[in-house]
Structure 1
Amino acid sequence: METTAYRIDGHKMLEHWITVPLDYFGAMGLLPHDGATRNVPSTIEVFAREYVRDGHDSDPRLVFFQGGPGSAGPRMAPIGSWLETALDHFRVVLIDERGTGNSHPLEALAVTAAGDPDVQAAYLSCFRQDSIVRDAEALREALQGDLPWATLGQSFGGFTVTAYLAQSPKGLSEAFITAGLPSTHLPADEVYRRTYKSTATRNKEFFARYPEDEATAWFIATHLADVEETMPNGERLTPARFRQLGIVLGYSYGLELLHFLLENPVWQCGGQRRLRPQFLARVCEQLSYAHNPLYGVIHEAIYGQRSSGPTAWAAQRMRGEYPEFRLPELAAGGSGELDLRREEGGFRFTGETIYPWQVASDPALAPMAEAAEKLAFHTQWPELYPQAALAENTVPTAAWIYVDDMFVPYEISLATAHEIRGLKPLITNDYHHDGLRTGGPQMIERLIKAVRS
């Protein structure tokens, strides 16, 4: 392991690098011939940034897993929010989960250079939460030998903590989770059945607060069906892609974020009403996965387990069960959208979903579309959360569960909380999915109190 030390505002900041295997579970070995994997590395570098508050050098360590998948550890400048409070109790390690940040970051070119779509899919399968747990264990052992450490996971990071509890509990002294308890056995279908319902509810809240925005949304959607508008990344903005702005509704101030996104979208250009370049830039910033391509291609793969079968584009399939979210075939002039408006009674933005046509249209994801298709129908996933191990858990654990979480269904989180022996659930409707960001200091203190009382 290599470490570089810095000083910052009353803290030591340590940057750690460690070399780990790419393939812990033999995914590449399932390919038909070794020559196909010649462009795939056998090892990768994993990076973590550690903060130690002055006078706290003997505090225990806590490793933080970011949400995602495909998101790097937070870069906080200045130190604040939940990290400020956590540093009163721990030396905090912010790991860049593999495939993100400084930890072998992936983008389309790196993936396609690995080989054909079968090789690409096998390569991508090495970046799920079970591999992240193995990386964390390698880092822990390099930093402190056999001594266990505490862990905190937000959203997908909570999925990783749950896998940690099931697979390597000896490495943990305490476990904290916010907005991230996955089902131990249900297929992705059941996640999306619930999240489409919560997304519909959040849409109603949005249009109740900002009723004039529904007319704006209808105009933009029907306009996009008839007029070609291009985002700065070169992708055509379609009605279906426009609807994906609803992902921001899952955040604490998501209603306001979406309202601000819809501000002043139209101008007159050559006697024709067009979407403003500034509006298209704002939309592109939200919709493009250029900044987070790994999320786009393995988002559903994080639900894959042998017991639940292939994900098979669950979000796309489950969408068909909810007429208000269906994609109409638009006639010239956008009459299909208008017919849908009359039939269903309201516009609906979608939420945290990835669709096959989206992967094919986003320039940051399109080169990996065939690999994503293979991942969607992959059947050789290992189990992520062995139920027997969780039923015997001895690691003190607490989890914040949000009744109104649009991304991680409350019912599923609560069921899993009951499956993990000794887990103390903290249930609230005061926060949305990003509660750790908006209420972090209080949440950290409550988590610590829960596991130590």
Structure 2
Amino acid sequence: MQTISFSVKLFHRYSLPTTPLKQTPHFYKFYSSIRSKLSAMNDDRSSENSDHSQSRSEVHKISVFAREAVVVGKENQDMPYLLYLQGGPGFESPRPTEASGWLSKACEEHRVILLDQRGTGLSTPLTTSSMLQMKSAQELVDYLKFFRADNIVNDAEFIRKLLVPNAGPWKVLGQSFGGFCGVTYLSFAPEGLKEVYLTGGIPPIGDGCTAEAVYKACIGPIITQNEKYYKRYPQDIKIIQDVVNHLQESEGGGVPLPSGGILTPRGLQLLGLTGLGSSTGFERLHYLFERVWDPVIVPGAKKQISYYFLNAFEKWHSFDTNPLYALMHESIYCQGAASRWAAHRVRAEHENKLDAVKAAKEGRPVFLTGEMVFPWMFDEIHALRPFKEAANLLVEKKDWPPLYNKTKLNDNKVPVAAAVYYEDMFVNFNLAMETAAEIAGIRLWVTNEYMHSGLRDGASHVLDHLMWLLNGRKPLF
């Protein structure tokens, strides 16, 4: 029987200076190196799933990396711990480079633990090359089932018990998918929590797979964001129409990308994932299309899309460096049911609005898509091609364990504060409010001042506001 072994590989302490890093050198301190069986930290439900149906002689090892950030001069002070859970899935924790933003604020009063969620950063990263070590698509799928929120919470609990004095509770800040993990934490290990802050991260918690409901709910906000974008930059309507027509008329229905993939009209629409959902996304998207065409410097030369644009397109998505996102995205919504390419099915229901080629031919604005993963991406994106079979197996997987416990959430005793962004394109407002009603005692800050990236964009304002909700600086009403 194949097993998975868990270890805390390294723990780095990082001093966050109050002046720019170039003026104050940082240091790293080795904290612990501890090896333990995964079953030692998992609950009974997860422990039962820690074996694979292969040879007992084969052991897959998962190491987890965390980094502690503190303000210079407070390295040895007794301060509460705050665990930060990054958005994703499939993205590592931020790397501190300067004393600014929410991290700087948090470090003034906390020891901030930046956890690389398993499969990311330095926590046994699942890259396009490392996953090729698997002998088959099924073996990869059997491995990936250990990389969801339930086991991320188990990792956090294992580290908390080792790190916090007397294994006491700590605070958790969850952004986006990190907030989903925070609600899983409240469901299965509330004893480890002192306070929880959620920013754009209240998940749908219905039984089965809620992916289809999520995508159906998000279609409206996606259309709205497209309309707002074109209202701000009406000149881009014609530019994007021309690009779509050029791609459609090219040999093979697209143009080659630098990595070896192909850019098609539907692939172009993926730019909406980053361009439409964050506060500076409109501007970045507009400036990207400013340089979509190569200049014609030789009379009669063929019009073509610039290398600059093609290279920038690939860098926008990080599918080559963080393929776990594409593979696992739909599974974050699944409890005991398969997703069956939910986004692809929902898009088909709205193809009259989302068909890029048809829109361009009819002179209508081409609408970009949002946070959706489609099966054809595993054909058109070079880094994802080796994992097409695994992706198809994952979306048919039905036996996903539960991620939430409504009974526990209804009886929640942990103080929780959440920022709910009214115009969030990634986490639907209405679905978030439905779940919030299930979490006893939660305090909500509903705002349209920020979008999904509010924690990053709002400096320390968002975190300050949530902390004030729980420490009495904001009135109860």
TM-score (norm 1): 0.91
Which residue is 2:272 aligned to?
246
**Displacement, 1:359?**
2.2
Which residue is 1:402 aligned to?
421
**Displacement, 1:20?**
5.5
**Displacement, 1:346?**
2.5
Distance in 1, Cα, partners of 2:57 & 2:258:
35
Which residue is 1:117 aligned to?
137
**Displacement, 1:110?**
2.4
Matched, 1:182 2:203: yes
1:242–1:396 CA distance, 2 compared to 1 (3 A)? same
Query: Aligned-pair RMSD on alpha carbons?
Result: 2.1
Distance in 2, Cα, partners of 1:39 & 1:261:
47
Distance in 1, Cα, partners of 2:101 & 2:259:
33
Distance in 2, Cα, partners of 1:19 & 1:317:
43
Give structure 2 stretches of 5+ with no counterpart: 1-7, 19-25, 473-477
Which residue is 1:171 aligned to?
192
| Contact in 2 for aligned 1:129/1:302 (Cα 8 Å) | yes
1:319–1:101 CA distance, 2 compared to 1 (3 A)? same
**Displacement, 1:429?**
0.6
Amino acid at match of 1:159: F
1:3–1:358 CA distance, 2 compared to 1 (3 A)? closer
**Displacement, 1:440?**
3.4
After superposition, residues 7-406 of structure 1 pair within 5 angstroms as 7=15, 9=17, 14=29, 18-19=34-35, 21=37, 24=42, 25=46, 26-27=48-49, 29=51, 33-35=53-55, 41=60, 43-53=61-71, 54-55=73-74, 57-144=77-164, 145-185=166-206, 187-227=210-250, 228-248=254-274, 249-267=276-294, 268=296, 271-306=301-336, 309-327=337-355, 336-339=358-361, 341=362, 345-406=364-425
Amino acid at match of 1:9: P
Deviations 1:417-439 (A, max 9, x none): 11101110110011100000011
**Displacement, 1:50?**
0.3
| Contact in 1 for aligned 2:14/2:67 (Cα 8 Å) | no
Deviations 1:59-92 (A, max 9, x none): 1000000000011110121131000111122110
TM-score (norm 2): 0.87
Amino acid at match of 1:153: G
Greater mean deviation of Cα atoms: 220-229 or 415-424: 220-229
Of 427, 431, 436 in structure 1, the residue corresponding to residue 446 of structure 2 is 427
**Displacement, 1:291?**
1.8
1:38–1:368 CA distance, 2 compared to 1 (3 A)? farther
1:188–1:385 CA distance, 2 compared to 1 (3 A)? same
| Contact in 1 for aligned 2:12/2:66 (Cα 8 Å) | no
Amino acid at match of 1:252: S
Distance in 1, Cα, partners of 2:123 & 2:315:
23
| Contact in 2 for aligned 1:152/1:177 (Cα 8 Å) | yes
Greater mean deviation of Cα atoms: 181-190 or 156-165: 181-190
Greater mean deviation of Cα atoms: 255-264 or 396-405: 255-264
Instruction: Specify which structure has the bigger relative contact order, considering alpha-carbon pairs within 8 angstroms and separated by 6 or more residues.
Output: 1
| Contact in 2 for aligned 1:192/1:318 (Cα 8 Å) | yes
Distance in 2, Cα, partners of 1:314 & 1:386:
23
Which residue is 1:333 aligned to?
none
**Displacement, 1:214?**
0.8
Distance in 2, Cα, partners of 1:235 & 1:114:
23
**Displacement, 1:14?**
4.8
Over the matched positions of the two proteins, sequence identity in percent amounts to 35
Distance in 2, Cα, partners of 1:38 & 1:361:
37
Distance in 2, Cα, partners of 1:282 & 1:118:
33
Which residue is 2:21 aligned to?
none
Distance in 2, Cα, partners of 1:6 & 1:400:
28
Amino acid at match of 1:52: V
**Displacement, 1:22?**
5.6
Distance in 2, Cα, partners of 1:27 & 1:226:
50
1:243–1:388 CA distance, 2 compared to 1 (3 A)? same
Deviations 1:286-342 (A, max 9, x none): 145112111111011111101xx21111110011222344447x6xxxxx4544x35
